[in-house]
């Protein structure tokens, strides 16, 4: 199979779909890899690194999309990239389709085979291709919050962990999943007062066991969300409904009640955000103010630490790339129910129930679509 790796074109996105080591793995298995020129420059991988691994270098994205059987990316394809997809071509990347009607429609029109990293599952009921970036985003969320709290950035001028004799900031984390736990680890390690809310009691028990009381766990209700959000300097939005839009847990009215100069870091922005006041931003202009509350809503947060993120992502995606290349998409998907859960769009049909529901479209069981 000929696998293509285009250069990412989203604002300040320096990650790359495959590292030279991943390329070498595919080449040694008899496959061919084409990498767009300068695709890895932002994280220290030159064209020569990819050539040494066995890849061919393409002069532009048009060549990659026109010639390759499978496209491996990091972020969702932008409009210009979607226009280059063709029928039966495999697209393997993050998609986050629930809040993105234009992308959903374009992928349907392309009749490509669109597999989303974020909905691939595992026997442990986890999302193995989302987890690495969730770990990165969770840890980065606290870095972003610390910077946003600074007075020069319109924050309240508070040091997250305080100093002896001066109280620390309060951090409320909505969601005790991978993002939430990693955010809690960073915030607690810096000395902040940390509260984490979730409806999953088992997840809260796990947090309590890990942190032995250093992180307070609270069952999530409308009342508890209001109580802790309005008393915090930092709120981390880390809720996730796989494949679906994030629930709006922070209302506009609640934002008005928050402390002036407090910060919302909405990590759920890829799925539409968990605050009614959240609008996707970029690394170039990461924040904006609503009712004196700083909002950090960068839709590709891990792109800020692109080298770490690329390696972490490749560690998780490589086995699936190998399976798709070795077996072809039909056999690979039918032989692995968890990879099959990653199939979101197939030959113009929506094969993820949450995506279909979000856009009021017909849902087709992925196995049915593949066998029809």
Residues 36-69 pLDDT 10s: 999 999 999 999 999 999 999 999 999 999 999 9
Tokens 């993820």 belong to: 352
Residues 6+ apart with CB under 8 A from 108: 345, 348, 349, 350
For 125, half-sphere exposure in the C-beta direction (CA atoms, 13 angstrom radius) is 3
Three-state secondary-structure class, residue 173: strand
Three-state secondary-structure class, residue 61: helix
Q: Do 194 and 216 meet the contact criterion of CB atoms below 8 Å apart?
A: yes
**238-273 residue pLDDT tens:** 998 887 889 999 999 999 999 999 999 999 999 999
Residues catalogued as catalytic: 96, 270
Tokens 């985003």 belong to: 137
Confidence of residue 120 (pLDDT cuts 50, 70, 90): very high
DSSP labels for 8-53? P-STT----S--HHHHHHHHHTT-EEEEETTTTGGGT--HHHHHHT
Question: Helix 201-211 crosses helix 178-189 at what angle (to 10 degrees)?
Answer: 30
Q: How many helices (H) and strands (E) does the chain have?
A: 15, 15
**273-309 residue pLDDT tens:** 999 999 999 999 999 999 999 999 999 999 999 999 9
* Strands lying side by side in the sheet with 32-36: 56-58, 32-36, 2-5, 70-72, 90-93, 113-116, 343-346, 349-350
pLDDT of residue 242: 81
For residue 190, what are its two tokens? 């810096």
For residue 100, what are its two tokens? 């993105």
Q: Do 285 and 259 meet the contact criterion of CB atoms below 8 Å apart?
A: no
CA 109, 110, 115 angle in degrees (round to 5)? 110
């Amino acid at each position: 199979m000929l696998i293509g790796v285009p250069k990412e074109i989203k604002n300040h996105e320096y990650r790359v779909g495959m590292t030279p080591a991943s390329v070498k793995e595919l080449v040694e298995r008899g496959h061919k890899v084409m990498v767009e020129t300068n695709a890895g420059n932002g994280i220290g991988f030159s064209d020569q690194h990819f050539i040494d691994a066995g890849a061919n270098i393409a002069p532009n994205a048009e060549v990659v999309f026109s010639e390759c059987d499978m496209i491996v990316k990091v972020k969702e394809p932008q409009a210009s990239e979607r226009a280059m997809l063709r029928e039966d071509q495999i697209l393997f990347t993050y998609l986050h389709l629930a809040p993105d009607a234009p992308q959903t429609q374009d992928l349907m029109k392309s009749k490509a085979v669109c597999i989303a990293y974020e909905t691939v599952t595992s026997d442990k009921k986890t999302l193995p291709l989302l987890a690495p970036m969730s770990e990165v985003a969770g840890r980065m969320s606290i870095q972003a919050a610390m910077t946003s709290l600074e007075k020069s950035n319109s924050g309240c001028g508070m040091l997250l962990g305080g100093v002896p004799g001066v109280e620390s900031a309060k951090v409320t984390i909505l969601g005790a999943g991978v993002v939430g736990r990693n955010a809690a680890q960073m915030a607690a390690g810096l000395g902040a007062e940390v509260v984490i809310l979730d409806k999953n009691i088992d997840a809260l028990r796990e947090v309590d066991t890990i942190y032995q009381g250093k992180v307070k766990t609270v069952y999530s209700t409308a009342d508890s969300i209001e109580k802790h959000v309005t008393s915090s300097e930092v709120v981390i939005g880390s809720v996730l409904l796989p494949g679906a839009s994030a629930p709006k847990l922070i209302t506009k009215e609640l934002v008005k009640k928050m402390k002036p100069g407090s910060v919302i870091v909405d990590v759920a922005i890829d799925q539409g955000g968990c605050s009614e006041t959240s609008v996707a931003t970029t690394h170039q202009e990461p924040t904006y103010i609503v009712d004196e509350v700083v909002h950090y809503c960068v839709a590709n947060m891990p792109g800020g630490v692109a080298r770490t993120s690329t390696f972490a992502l490749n560690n998780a995606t490589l086995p699936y790339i190998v399976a798709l290349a070795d077996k072809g998409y039909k056999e690979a998907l039918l032989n692995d129910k968890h990879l099959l859960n990653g199939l979101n769009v197939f030959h113009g049909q929506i094969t993820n129930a949450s995506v279909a529901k979000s856009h009021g479209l017909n849902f087709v069981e992925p196995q049915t679509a593949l066998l029809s």
